[in-house]
Structure formats: structure tokens, C-alpha cells
Amino acid sequence: MTTKSARLNIRLPEKDLKELEAIRERTGLQSVSDVVREAIQAYVRDEAATWNADMIKAAVPSAIMEDVEMFIASGDATDISQAVTLALAGWTEERKKYYLEGKELVRQKVVEAVEERGTRKGMARTASRMRVQ
């Protein structure tokens, strides 16, 4: 079974062509065309996978990467992308809880502290009046 394909002609700077040739040698592919074909297929897969997503780049300390790779190896995530997505989802949920629920809790504690402070001041005034009499 053959699949229909199209032929493309592209122009590249000489240094890029040399780099593609080096990649071909390292990967053991038959031709530079194979390297370009695989690169385009990977790009198309990545773009399709991120159609409804934003791509970000981040520098991750090696100690954290070792932990991420360990969790992936243990089956907690299938790959780095999923691990990062899970981590960001957890972090944003935590922030949502803080801002939605925690904020109200902070307000309540402030009100209680103000009331307690007022009560202490009132008790101090009463005590000072009692000493005067």
C-alpha cells in the first residue's frame, strides 16, 4: 500500500545543510531528506497536539528534572509534557483555593483579630478604672 506524497523543494543556508547532514550521520538515517521528513512530521505532530494549548519554554533545575524523570519512570506521568501539565494543574488549583477560599479565611481571621484587640483594649480600660476607684 502506497501513500500519496508531494515533493518539496526548499532552499537552506549551507551551514543548515551541514547540520542536517551531521544529524543524518548521528541518527543513522539514509538521507538528508529523511532527516527533513522526520523533522517536519515531529513539528506537525507537536502543532496538532498543541492546537488548543500554549507552548512555553522553561529552565528546570537538574534536581527537579531528576525527580520528574523518576515520577515518569514510576508511572505517575507518561512523559515530561504530561508531568508539567499535571504540576501546573495542581499548582493552579491550589492558588484558586487560596484566592477563593483562603482569602475569605484570611478576612475572617483579620475580623477576629480586630475584635479580640478591641476586647483587650476594653478590658484594659475597665481594669484601669477599677484601680482608680
> 92-98: long-range contacts at Cβ-Cβ below 8 A with a sequence spacing of 24 or more?
none
Q: How far apart are CA 65 and CA 67, in angstroms?
A: 5
pLDDT at 51: 72
Q: Is the per-residue pLDDT at 127 higher than 80?
A: no
Q: How far apart are CA 84 and CA 77, in angstroms?
A: 9
Query: Is 27 in a helix, a strand, or coil?
Result: helix
- Please report, in angstroms and rounded to a whole number, the separation of the first and last CA atoms in the chain: 108
pLDDT at 15: 95
The position carrying cell 501539565 is 85
At 49, list the grid cell: 497536539
Q: How far apart are CA 108 and CA 103, in angstroms?
A: 9
pLDDT at 36: 94
Tell me the per-residue pLDDT of 104-120, one tens digit each, with 9 for 90 and over.
777 888 888 888 887 77
pLDDT at 133: 57
- Cα 60 to chain center, whole Å? 10
CA–CA distances in Å: residue 71 to residues 12, 62, 67: 41, 14, 6
- Sorting pLDDT into bands at 50, 70 and 90, what band is 1? low
Q: What is the mean pLDDT of the chain?
A: 84
Tell me the per-residue pLDDT of 23-55, one tens digit each, with 9 for 90 and over.
999 999 999 999 999 999 888 887 777 777 777
